[in-house]
Amino acid sequence: MRILYLHGFASGPGSSKARLFARRFEEIGVRLEVPDLAAGDFEHLTLTAQLRVIEQVAGGDAVALIGSSLGGYLAALYAARHPETTKVVLLAPAFGFAKRWEARMGSEAARHWEQTGWLSVYHYGERKESRVWWGFLEDGRRYEDFPDVTQPCLLFHGLQDDVVTADWSQQFAESRPNVELHLEESGHELLNVVDKMFERTRAFLLD
């Protein structure tokens, strides 16, 4: 089985969780594929372009997906549109992406972003200030808050998450019997529960 790991916003294949998961899977002889979802062009990032990267990497194969934050939302969007996806693991998925982003930054800041065309952000993967174009949010508005994932789904969310509050994942899981939800004493990064998440993920995907 092929397993793809989808990193979060302003991150990359070298993210802490991506490296931790890749190393742990490698120890048991499993290769974890971690594509660069920005495809080298973070400034012109969109959800549509990132989904296209996933499609290209998957190549129509039956893949399992692990997604973190925005990567979790993308994993859910992809699975809802690609029934050949076998299983999905979501780590603090960014459900309601566009709606939450606009609410968090406020209408005035959103208007400024639209008028200037650019928003300054810190890129954690590159460890420097960068920028992303207005098309990122504009494109994001096209997508549903809660993708209709029908595959077996394992979901972890931190109760102290102040980026994407856990109630989004609770709402997603409550009407879907295919979702196994774990609420953890952790924040958005979930780094203090990585070992626990890996062990359950390994069993969920491979046993």
pLDDT of residue 127: 81
Q: Residue with structure tokens 């690609």?
A: 82
Q: How many independent structural domains does the chain possess?
A: 1
Domain containing 185 — which CATH number?
3.40.50.1820
Per-residue pLDDT of the chain (207 residues; tens, 9 = 90+): 899 999 999 999 999 999 999 999 999 999 999 999 999 999 999 999 999 999 999 999 999 999 999 999 999 999 999 999 999 999 999 999 999 999 999 999 999 999 999 999 999 888 899 999 999 999 999 999 999 999 999 999 999 999 999 999 999 999 899 999 999 999 999 999 999 999 999 999 998
Q: Could you list the residue range(s) of the whole structural domain that residue 69 is in?
A: 2-206
pLDDT of residue 125: 85
DSSP state of 181: E
User: With the C-alpha atoms ordered 51, 183, 84, 148, is the resulting torsion angle positive or negative?
Assistant: negative
pLDDT of residue 10: 93
**CB neighbourhood size of 2 (10 A):** 16
pLDDT of residue 124: 87
Q: Residue with structure tokens 């952000």?
A: 121
